[in-house]
Amino acid sequence: MPVVTVEMYEGRSDEQKQELVEDITDAMVEHVDATPETLHVIIHDVPKENWGRDGLLGIHRED
C-alpha cells in the first residue's frame, strides 16, 4: 500500500524514471506514512498520438 500511477509521454530515460520513482516514494513516505516495501510506482509511457489535450492529439501540438 499504496499505488501511484504516472501517465506521461513516452521518451524519458531510465535515469529520469529512477529519479522520479525515488522522489515520489520519498514524498509518499514523508507525507502520508507509506510503507516503501509495498509502495508501487507504475509508469505508463504514452505515445503522442494517444494523448489529446484541448481537443488535439500530441502529434498535432507544438508543446
Which amino acid is located at 35 in the chain?
T
Which amino acid is located at 32 in the chain?
V
* Options 2, 11, 47, 52, the catalytic residue: 2
CA distance 48 to 26: 29
Give the position of cell 524519458. 12
C-alpha cell at 55: 481537443
Q: How far is the CB of 1 from a copy of itself (least distance, A)?
A: 6
Annotated catalytic residue 2:
yes
Q: How far is the CB of 50 from a copy of itself (least distance, A)?
A: 4
Interface contacts to a copy of itself, rule CB under 8 A: 1-9, 12, 14, 16-28, 30-32, 34-46, 49-60, 63
- The catalytic residues are 2
